[in-house]
Amino acid sequence: MNAATALDAACMLWRCVREGRVIDSLPDALRPADIVQGQAIQAQLPVASGFGVVGWKIAATSEAGQRHINVGAPLPGRILSGLVVEAGSTVSLAGNRMRVAEPEFAFRFGHTLSPRAALYAQQEVLDAVASLHPALEVPDSRYAVFTRAGEAQLIADNACCGRFAFGDAAPPRWREIDLSAHAVRGTVTNSAGHARYTRAGHGRAALGDPRTALVWLVNQLSALGLSIDAGQVVSTGTCMVPLAIEPGDLVRADFGDLGTVSLRFAA
């Protein structure tokens, strides 16, 4: 797949984002044949959208998540600047068909990690991290039936990347905590102010440990010749079964002494 074809595919997918519509699949001439072509299309999304890459996300960091979208491994995606909203703000669900929110551990980098032949060790990666943040993703897909789109098309579609909100930096003692066992509670409250339900989760839902997921992402990007730049953030995947949401809901993710993050969805 040449760059022009990859850009055409990325432009089609971004038009779906902008217009809040879905397609059955990319047309034959633009459809990626494998994950390499899917990655080539995803790499053109910043050009198609006009937004910069402010970080990275990981989809399907649990076996249940992989089964749900019928893939065999986690999927990396780019977080574009136009997809990030302020924590506590109100966003629209118009055009979003997934209708879920995902509490996640997110790491902001203070130093760049450039691609190299040798794998990065966990301590090297953590030494480059400046801060940990509670995060919420509101994922979405540009495919009408995303569970049948296949790995290559899902990667092209930015690994179902949707809106992101990042909370304040956690206290520095996060480095001393076993993040795999750290509890997170998600609460969904309706427009009348009544809690519809709560759900518990733990860091281990993301590849066994958010730090493990983080290192996986760094080494995946390194193998592709891509860096994690200083200032970029990596969100490591949902730490619980995604929270079903409706217009008018308020979602709050409580990470205990690591902080909270919330989003409201317009009625």
Across all residues in the chain, what is the average pLDDT?
97
Contact status, residue 235 vs residue 210, Cβ threshold 8 Å: no
Phi and psi (nearest 5°) for 220? -65, -45
Does the domain at 3-265 match CATH 2.60.40.420? Answer given as no
H helices present in 100-230, as ranges? 122-128, 151-156, 210-223
Spatial separation of the C-alpha atoms in residues 182 and 108, rounded to whole Å: 19
Q: How confident is the model at residue 180 (pLDDT cuts 50, 70, 90)?
A: very high
For residues 68-87, average pLDDT: 96
Q: What is the pLDDT of residues 3-16, one digit of tens each?
A: 999 999 999 999 99
For residues 169-196, average pLDDT: 97
Spatial separation of the C-alpha atoms in residues 189 and 233, rounded to whole Å: 28
Q: Residue 204 is encoded by which pair of tokens?
A: 């281990």
Q: State how beta strands 163-166 and 84-85 pair.
A: parallel
Q: How confident is the model at residue 191 (pLDDT cuts 50, 70, 90)?
A: very high
Q: How much is the pLDDT for 175?
A: 98
Longest dimension (CA), the chain: 55
Spatial separation of the C-alpha atoms in residues 165 and 107, rounded to whole Å: 13
Bridge partner list, 138: 163
Q: How much is the pLDDT for 44?
A: 98
Q: How much is the pLDDT for 55?
A: 98
Bridge partner list, 75: 59
**Residue 117, C-beta contacts closer than 8 angstroms, at least 6 positions apart:** none
Domain boundaries, given as residue ranges, for the chain: 3-265
Q: Residue 58 is encoded by which pair of tokens?
A: 């990981």
Q: How much is the pLDDT for 135?
A: 98
Spatial separation of the C-alpha atoms in residues 222 and 227, rounded to whole Å: 6
CA dihedral 200, 249, 171, 82 (to 10 degrees): 120
Contact status, residue 267 vs residue 111, Cβ threshold 8 Å: no
Q: How confident is the model at residue 23 (pLDDT cuts 50, 70, 90)?
A: very high
Among 48-57, 62-71, 228-237, the range scoring the smallest mean pLDDT is 62-71
Q: What is the pLDDT of residues 211-220, one digit of tens each?
A: 999 999 999 9
Percent of all residues in the chain with a pLDDT value above 90, rounded to a whole number: 99
- Strands (E) in the chain, as ranges, are 53-59, 75-80, 84-85, 90-91, 100-109, 129-138, 163-166, 183-189, 195-202, 233-238, 243-244, 250-254, 260-265
Q: What is the pLDDT of residues 127-166, one digit of tens each?
A: 999 999 999 999 999 999 999 999 999 999 999 999 999 9
Q: How much is the pLDDT for 190?
A: 96
Per DSSP, 170 falls in state P
Across 197-234, b (16+ Cβ under 10 Å) vs e yields: eebebbbbbbbebbbbbbbbbbbbbbeeebebeeebbb
For residues 92-99, average pLDDT: 94
